[in-house]
Structure 1
Amino acid sequence: MKSNWKVLTLIAILSSAVTLAAYNILGFSNPNRDVIFNEASMPTITGRLASLTGNGNAAPGDFSYAAEAATPMVVHIRTTMTRTVRQQQMPDIFREFFGDEFPGGGGGGQPRRQQGQASGSGVIISKDGYIVTNNHVVQDADEVEVLMTDKRSFKAKVIGTDPLTDLAVIKVEANNLPAITLGDSDVLKLGEWVLAVGYPLDLESTVTAGIVSAKARKIGILEQDFQRRQQGQTQGQGAEERQQVDTPLESFIQTDAAINPGNSGGALVNLRGELVGINSAIASKTGYYSGYGFAVPVSLVKKVTADLLKYGNVQRGYLGVRPVELNSKLAKDNNLKVGRGIYLEEVTDNGAAKAAGLQKGDVIVKMDNQPVDSDAQMREIIGRRRPGDVINVTVNRGGTERDFKVELRNRNGGRDVIKKAEVTASSVSTLGAELIDLSAAEARELGVTGGVRIKSIRDGKLAETDIEEGFIIVKANGKNVKSQKDLQAIMSTTKEGEGLMLIGMYPGSSRMYYYAVPV
């Protein structure tokens, strides 16, 4: 995203190759593990936090307590990757920085292999080696190296990622590591002092200070590429199906603490040295610090991390509504008796909201007694919960406030958590492609009973063939493919070296194509 004022960018350092915004779910280990965090215990701070100037205003004081408390828990992450570059797939946000002359910036051209490195930061959250960082720091990495402040180096394994919040968990084989204490981002106040800790510009551990400039900030950086990749995915779906499509969750803490490339995945801490956010992005004309940085609040970090470690994927609760932020025009056009809140443009059938009694035209003004003024606020509150959790929702209906207890549902309409093994993956990792099941309407139009469409091709086996994006797989190794689950089942029984024969068609053509794919 670029304007006359700013460019929003993720802040991992990249060299030789750009980390493309091709999101996927990586492998998980020990999916049933319960994570135990160091929760804030409100320690007594002996250092002076602030003083008063002659006019009575607060002035910054000694930040050494927080810096010393947090620095040992923040690590330097270096990754290497080898990928096939398909030049036409470079996201717009990176092209704005590097131009068409940079590898991958132009259109057309043949796919080619390219090596690259990236650098970012991470935060130790458990003594046995679990580390939280940004998804964009480790995505597509072949190797991940973690360097501690005491100069020790470890190879790390990616345990789980969540592109929708730009968070990831990695693991090093070590014990008795210093683990950070998790604070409470909900109690952060505008103007409160915070410190950013990380490894900017590939430097040694660095601490900068600033204040909380805003909360629940939505900047669109995670949505930009997501929307491009999702174009056409909801064609042929009904309103209820569309409501269950996962979308990025942005509700950043905004700070003026200096954050630069390499700070990605680092810590934003309060003056007690407690983690209140994971640094993720900056607003800048140049790609370097020029005013504001953005961090994922620790309230989301705790929930996403716990889900990845326990279930293997993030558990998301759905309200089942189409929300619109209320403004004066919308209020006037609909004769509403309230000026702020979330207007329910649609309440889906068989959804959690409708089951609880919410109606189209209601205005959500509170959730769990917290005022809700923006979509980002609402989605952050819901994003901390799981299917089956009950949330208190206050709506304004015809000028009168009413309270409802809403039991959130999963994407399938149920109330149970969905473990990774039960989730149909959005891509088959070895193929290096984003796959989408055909909707019933699309299948009828093509005259098939089902199939899997190749939405995009990244680094992987498909990039080594002549297959193109848009291809619809209807058979694999002679067996019918109606869904990604079918394709995964066929691939799981294919021995290494046997190969995979994909049969299908392209939209607008009745001709069948055959592609041999090495597996």
Structure 2
Amino acid sequence: MKHSEINLVYYVLLLMNLNYILMKQTLRLFTVALFAGAITLGGYKFFVEDGTVTIPEANATPSFIPTNFSSEAASTNIDFTEAAEKTVHAVVHVKNTTVSKQPTNVLEYFSGGGTPRAMVGSGSGVIITPDGYIITNNHVIANASQLEVTLNDNKIYPAELIGTDPKTDIALIKVESDEDLPYVPFGDSNNLQIGEWVLAVGNPFNLTSTVTAGIVSAKARDLNQFDGNPQSFIQTDAAVNRGNSGGALVNTRGELIGINTAITSETGSYVGYSFAVPSNNARKVIEDIMEFGNVQQGILGIRGSNLNSKSAKQFGVEETQGVYVAGIERGSGADKGGIKAGDVIKKIDGYDVGKFSDLTGYIGSKRPDDVVAVTILRDGNEKVIPVTLIKLETYEIDYLGLEVKNASTTDLKDRGQSRGVIVTKALTRDIAQYNLAGVLITEINNQKISNIDDVKRVMSQRDFKAPIKMTFVNQNDETNTFIFR
């Protein structure tokens, strides 16, 4: 065989050997791929289509913490745009100009003289009628010599003060316009629910038409638990800052359910809590101002306190929520209706009463001669008692730091006196330490006192540089005299 033929046979055999090797390798790869595909298909059938995943159990107690009992996501599709649109044009910017004298030397400082100086403050207000009545806070317009209101469309109007109620911090002002103004309708603040969404609309830091959102964090919140003037605020976490005072708190329907009034803060700015006067209370105050010129305050005629585990044990009752009736005012609606000391008030007109501010907050939306249904617990039995509210006639003697009321015939007879007014509470902490609540004032500056009109007359005629002499009879029928300097 020739050399060339040998080489040819060699190359043919070499190619055949390589082809065999490649076919063998391909067969191996095909077998591996076929096996892997079978495993993948089997796993899919077992784990996915069957819907069951098997996890080796290491412990009978699950190691996870459930976060929801429902597999459905909570709805967050809440739209505030309609409520904001209804409200923002009816919330106004209130500018308050006050004029005070600034002393320029020591002599003017002590004599009260000085150079008049104008100071400008600002806040918010809410138009509540198309003819221009505006509700705001008393502290926004206090001591104003001039009031100016700016609407959302930048129109500016001079405003007139109609009336105020410092106790609720509510004031009513009015502007005159040739056209109907946008306004916010009142909602029922008694129907508010904790957790309900609300909007705060106002002018913080002179930023007009500002809208913030939050929820109702609490109801009937009392910020002055220790000064004898119980309050009942709506608490929210909607951002409120300086300038928001007097602005609107509205629900998602655009109804006015509160007047933004206060925040609690260590810095002076919003830190998560804001408070509003309930709309039912604010509405009652301005209606009284418009109809009577002052606020007509109705009372049950009880002295009471909150309940908890300790006080319930002290009073000998089992309830830890409600208002414990510690005493009854003679001749009051509670007295005539049959409420007794030792009763526990649980509801009023069907609304739950968990604490004293729940009771006072609801009563604050009522007037004298209104009848309320009071649900009480007595000896473990529930009873509903209709009570006619009586008018609270009081007068604050600011200089003395005392609030007084007219004494009833029964009060005078019990004291063996023929005249006098009764101290209802102290207005300052300094005076509160003397525990004068309940004493009967019979004379001021040696002039006989029979009613609060006498008090007003004597105080208006007094010498402002002279001390005041007050004669009173305490609960032990002892006559005493205080000198206020």
TM-score (norm. length: structure 1): 0.63
- TM superposition shift of 1:190: 1.5
- Partner residue, 1:63: 80
Are the counterparts in 1 of residues 241 and 270 from structure 2 also a CA contact under 8 Å?
A: yes
Alignment match of 2:241 (pick from 254, 260, 272): 260
- TM superposition shift of 1:339: 2.8
Are the counterparts in 2 of residues 80 and 118 from structure 1 also a CA contact under 8 Å?
A: yes
Alignment match of 1:319 (pick from 256, 275, 300): 300
Matching of residues 265-414 of structure 1 within 5 Å: 265-411=246-392
Are the counterparts in 1 of residues 199 and 213 from structure 2 also a CA contact under 8 Å?
A: yes
Aligned equivalents of 1:400 and 1:491: distance in 2?
A: 49
Are the counterparts in 2 of residues 326 and 340 from structure 1 also a CA contact under 8 Å?
A: yes
Matching of residues 90-109 of structure 1 within 5 Å: none
Aligned equivalents of 1:216 and 1:160: distance in 2?
A: 25
Are the counterparts in 2 of residues 164 and 249 from structure 1 also a CA contact under 8 Å?
A: no
Aligned equivalents of 2:221 and 2:125: distance in 1?
A: 22
1:177 equivalent in alignment to 2:178 = no
1:164 equivalent in alignment to 2:167 = yes
Write out per-residue CA displacement over residues 274-331 of structure 1, whole angstroms, 9 at most, x where no aligned residue.
1111000112221111111111111111111111111111111111111100111122
Alignment match of 2:222 (pick from 218, 221, 225): 218
Aligned equivalents of 1:437 and 1:399: distance in 2?
A: 36
- TM superposition shift of 1:118: 1.2
Write out per-residue CA displacement over residues 10-59 of structure 1, whole angstroms, 9 at most, x where no aligned residue.
xxxxxxxxxxxxxxxxxxxxxxxxxxxxxxxxxxxxxxxxxxx9951232
Secondary structure at the residue paired with 2:264?
A: strand
- Partner residue, 2:95: 78
Write out per-residue CA displacement over residues 395-431 of structure 1, whole angstroms, 9 at most, x where no aligned residue.
111111111111111125xxxxxxxxxx86867xxxx
Aligned equivalents of 1:190 and 1:73: distance in 2?
A: 26
Matching of residues 90-239 of structure 1 within 5 Å: 111=112, 115-174=118-177, 175-220=179-224, 227=227
For structure 2, the 5+ residue unaligned runs are: 1-69, 104-108, 408-418, 428-442, 471-485
Secondary structure at the residue paired with 2:298?
A: coil
Percent of matched pairs sharing the same residue: 43
Runs of 4+ that moved beyond 6 A: 432-440, 479-484, 487-492
1:199–1:251 Cα change, 3 Å: same
Aligned equivalents of 1:161 and 1:378: distance in 2?
A: 23
Aligned equivalents of 1:305 and 1:438: distance in 2?
A: 23
Aligned equivalents of 1:181 and 1:272: distance in 2?
A: 10
Are the counterparts in 2 of residues 437 and 482 from structure 1 also a CA contact under 8 Å?
A: no
Are the counterparts in 1 of residues 444 and 458 from structure 2 also a CA contact under 8 Å?
A: no
Q: In structure 2, give the amino acid aligned to 1:189.
A: Q
Aligned equivalents of 2:284 and 2:110: distance in 1?
A: 43
- Partner residue, 1:50: none
Are the counterparts in 1 of residues 445 and 468 from structure 2 also a CA contact under 8 Å?
A: no
Q: In structure 1, give the amino acid aligned to 2:187.
A: G
Aligned equivalents of 1:219 and 1:438: distance in 2?
A: 24
- Partner residue, 1:506: 467
Question: Larger relative contact order (C-alpha < 8 A, sep ≥ 6)?
Answer: 1
Matching of residues 469-508 of structure 1 within 5 Å: 474=445, 485=453, 502=463, 505-506=466-467
Aligned equivalents of 1:142 and 1:435: distance in 2?
A: 28
Secondary structure at the residue paired with 1:59?
A: coil
Write out per-residue CA displacement over residues 91-118 of structure 1, whole angstroms, 9 at most, x where no aligned residue.
xxxxxxxxxxxxxxxxx97646554221
CA RMSD of the aligned region, Å? 3.8
The structure whose Rg is larger is: 2
Q: Going by fraction, where is helix more abundant, 1 or 2?
A: 2
- TM superposition shift of 1:502: 3.6
Q: In structure 2, give the amino acid aligned to 1:394.
A: T
- TM superposition shift of 1:182: 1.2
Secondary structure at the residue paired with 1:284?
A: coil
For structure 1, the 5+ residue unaligned runs are: 1-52, 87-107, 228-246, 413-422, 441-448, 457-471, 493-499, 510-519
Aligned equivalents of 1:273 and 1:501: distance in 2?
A: 51
Q: In structure 2, give the amino acid aligned to 1:213.
A: S
Most deviating of 334-343 and 351-360: 334-343
Are the counterparts in 2 of residues 195 and 257 from structure 1 also a CA contact under 8 Å?
A: yes
1:437–1:401 Cα change, 3 Å: closer
TM-score (norm. length: structure 2): 0.67
- Partner residue, 1:16: none
Aligned equivalents of 1:196 and 1:136: distance in 2?
A: 18
- TM superposition shift of 1:187: 1.8
